[in-house]
Every structure is written in structure tokens, then in C-alpha cells.
Amino acid sequence: MTRLKPVFWMTLVLSIVTLIVMIFILMQPTNEKLLIKVPEKNGLRDTVINISSDDQESVKESEPVKEKEPVTERTIDDPEVADLALQIAKAKRVLKQVKVACFITTQPSMIRSKLAAVSNTWAPRIDKIFYLMTDNKTMNISFPNLLLVNITNDRQHLTEKTVFAFKYLYKHHLNEFEWFLKADDDSYIIVENLKYLLSQYNSSKPIYLGHHFKHYSQNGYMSGGGSYVLSREALRLLVENGYNVPGRCRQKGGAEDIETGRCLTKAGALVHSSVDNRDRESFHPMNIYGYIIGPLPKWIVNYDRNQAKVGNDCCSQLTISFHYTGPKLMSTLDFLLYRTSVYGRNLDYGRLKNFFKLGTVPPPGPETKIIPYFFEKREDYYKNATAWRLRNNTVL
């Protein structure tokens, strides 16, 4: 039997490999190049994106159900996200139209950690932000938007700092902004959702919004850590009918969120709803773990005006805030919300009509179990509301 030469076997193997490679290439979808015009400061630049023919067919099939937006707004001109395939016309519109000023009470030791995280995530989306802290003359403090005060740096003086901040905003920025947000240095705010909710309300009305606790006042108060919002008219009433009336509101000591809520009610501001049409909260006094995984602390369950929920139905689809969000978690949340997407899942804007349960929230009736404030009785909150509003609140 004649033995085949090694050259023959090598040629045969190479031929088979070549055939396999050619079949594999023919089975792959053809690639075409899609040219997209991306806005720049000095005109348009051309960006070439590789997109398969299969992808082009799926895009064409989905076009009839897409919301109609100008082609030039399919990409964002913000350098931070210019590389993302986003439609942000509505987000840009609400960010531009609704004007919000914010202050955060903090301390110098948080500059390199919590304040850096806030400044690098949600703060740039707010129109104006102030970081209120005690002026430590022994330290060389350098950070943007600091508001330094000569008030002792501890929790017992948070009410005093908050009063200072609201008076400062009233004096210098009342007519510049429509809404005024108070947040903590470990609060995370989804600004677009906040502004969308606020766009449904009228800032010329005395509106007080946030995560509603039911205790210590005629109509409770909003969680400070979950953040709360005052309309322009509510801020005006807080200062003119509250702080400026001797004895009406406690301006030192106590818990700042409780004292602010009590003063707002005494001054004539009204609690308004921020829950959605499925009674899910949009402001949250705990972090995202507590609401998704649980359990929530018992005090939260006992304080909530609305029933606290854990799990998939814990939080509104248009959630606004979470508290106790450290720098690492804050950066993670911000990345997931603003740098990633799920293919094929787009917000159905048509179903956002009547998404939030808007309107005033009446004070709880006598059947509601609430904890009264110092030297007050539950009956004081619903039997004679006028007398309660006029009572001296500074004598304990």
C-alpha cells in the first residue's frame, strides 16, 4: 500500500480549516456603519457607530411606537454622557423649567467623603446648592458653595442651622427660585423625578412635601434625612408668619425636621401628597437596602403616615430620594441610574398622566394614634387648631 506524503496531509488539513472559516463568516450578519451627528459647541461632529443589519431591522420595526422627538435630541450634548444612546429631551426640559435651590447641613470632616460624593453625583443637576457648616477657624476649609456659620457643630444645633439656612434663602433667593430643598449629606436625590413632581404643583401655593411622619404636630412633619421641599410661598410664610413672630416657633434645640414641620403648619403652609397613584412613597428616610430587602426599623413603621412597604412595591417608579446613602452606594446608584440602560425598556410617558396623587393631605383624625409634642395632648391637634397655632412654642 502506497503511503501518502506529509505534504498531502498538510494541504488537506489547511483546505478543511479554510472551508470551515468561510462557512462561519457567511453565517454572520453583515455589518454596516451608521453615521450619527452628535452636537458639539462648534457645530456637529460625525460619530461612526457599527450596527448590524439585524439591529437595523429591529430599530425600523420599533420606530412607529417611539415617542416623536427631534432627531438632534436623540443624543446628549453633555460631555459626561455624550457616548450614551439616550433620548433626554424631556429630562432637559424639566431640569430647565423647574428652579430648585438646595441646602445641606454638614461638617468639615465630611468634605472629602460625603460632600465629594454629593458634588460628583446629583448636586450638579440642582440649580443652586449650599453646604452649610460651622466655620472652623482652625482649619483651612476649601470647597465650592460653602455657607459658613458661627453655630456650634453638633446635632443639638441642627435646628438653629436650618433656621439660618431658610432665613438666608428667604432674604437672598426667594424670588430667584420656585422651590427650596433641604437634604442631608447622605441623602441621594434623583433630581429629574423631583422636578417632575414639582412641575405638577404651583409654587405660589404654600406647599410642603416629603416623606410624611404623623407624630408631634397637628399634621405631622417631613423626614429631614429623606429630604423635604418648600414652595416659594411656603418659605415666605415660614419666615414671615413663623420665625418672625416671637414665640411661635422653636428656633433652637429639638429635632430640626420636627420643629420645621410644626412651624410650617403654624405659619399656614399645607402638607401635600408626594405618593404615586399606587400609594408608593417617592421620598425615603432609609437607604435602598432597607426598602428593597428589609426589614425597616420599627420606628419607621410606627411613624409613617402612609403604610410602610418593603419589596418590589416599596417605592414609586419615579422615586425621588433615599437617606443613609454613603459615598460608595451613592456613586453606585448614580452610575446605575445615569450610565446604564436595559435594552427595549422605555418609559411610557402616556401613562404618567395622573401618576402622582396630588393635593393637600388633611390632618389625621382623633382615631389616629399619634405621639404628641412636649406638654401637648392629642386633642390639641384637632379640637382647636387655631389656638394651637397661636400657642407659644418656645417655652418647654
165 plus 278 within the same structural domain: yes
Nearest-angstrom CA–CA distance, 242 and 245: 6
Burial bucket for residue 62 (CB in 10 Å: 0-12, 13-18, 19+): exposed
With a CB cutoff of 8 Å and minimum separation 6, the contacts of 248 are: 241, 242, 263, 266, 267, 389, 390, 392, 393
Q: What is the rounded average pLDDT of the residues 223-244?
A: 97
Q: Is the pLDDT of residue 186 over 60?
A: yes
Cell of 1: 500500500
Percent of the chain with pLDDT over 70: 78
63 plus 169 within the same structural domain: no
Least confident range from 20-29, 86-95, 210-219: namely: 20-29
More confident residue, 201 or 378: 201
| Nearest CA-CA partner of 285 in 225, 229, 230 | 225
129 plus 248 within the same structural domain: yes
For 63, the domain range is 31-87
More confident residue, 90 or 137: 90
With a CB cutoff of 8 Å and minimum separation 6, the contacts of 159 are: 250, 251, 252, 253, 254, 255, 256, 259, 260
pTM: 0.78
Res 153: pLDDT: 87
User: By the 8 A CB rule, do 252 and 298 touch?
Assistant: no
Identify whether 93 is part of a domain: no
Least confident range from 42-46, 177-181, 212-216, 239-243: namely: 42-46
Among 41, 63, 87, the domain boundary falls at 87
Domain count, the chain: 2
Res 47: pLDDT: 31
More confident residue, 266 or 379: 266
Q: Is the pLDDT of residue 49 over 80?
A: no
Cell of 311: 419589596
Res 18: pLDDT: 56
What 3-state DSSP class applies to 83?
A: coil
Identify whether 298 is part of a domain: yes
80 plus 129 within the same structural domain: no
Task: Please give the full DSSP string across 129-193, using - where no structure is assigned.
Answer: EEEEEE--TTS----TTEEEE-S-SSGGGHHHHHHHHHHHHHHHHTTT-SEEEEEETT-EE-HHH
Res 80: pLDDT: 58
More confident residue, 131 or 74: 131
Identify whether 3 is part of a domain: no
Torsion of Cα atoms, 201 then 205 then 206 then 209, to 10°: 0
Q: List Cα–Cα distances, 81 to 45, 84, 228, 261, 340, in angstroms.
A: 15, 5, 29, 39, 10
Angle formed at CA 206 by CA 200 and CA 208, multiple of 5 degrees: 70
User: By the 8 A CB rule, do 117 and 330 touch?
Assistant: yes
133 plus 186 within the same structural domain: yes
Res 144: pLDDT: 86
pLDDT band at 264 (very low <50, low <70, confident <90, very high): very high
Nearest-angstrom CA–CA distance, 215 and 391: 18
Res 367: pLDDT: 84
188 plus 282 within the same structural domain: yes
Among 65, 87, 109, the domain boundary falls at 87
pLDDT band at 71 (very low <50, low <70, confident <90, very high): very low
64 plus 141 within the same structural domain: no
Nearest-angstrom CA–CA distance, 143 and 155: 22
71 plus 159 within the same structural domain: no
Res 194: pLDDT: 97
Identify whether 5 is part of a domain: no
Res 46: pLDDT: 33
pLDDT band at 8 (very low <50, low <70, confident <90, very high): low
282 plus 309 within the same structural domain: yes
Q: Is the pLDDT of residue 215 over 80?
A: yes
More confident residue, 275 or 45: 275
More confident residue, 136 or 254: 254
CATH code at 367?
A: 3.90.550
Identify whether 362 is part of a domain: yes
What 3-state DSSP class applies to 102?
A: strand
What 3-state DSSP class applies to 36?
A: strand
Res 105: pLDDT: 94
pLDDT band at 350 (very low <50, low <70, confident <90, very high): confident
pLDDT band at 164 (very low <50, low <70, confident <90, very high): very high
Q: What is the rounded average pLDDT of the residues 51-58?
A: 31
Res 310: pLDDT: 95
105 plus 141 within the same structural domain: yes
167 plus 292 within the same structural domain: yes
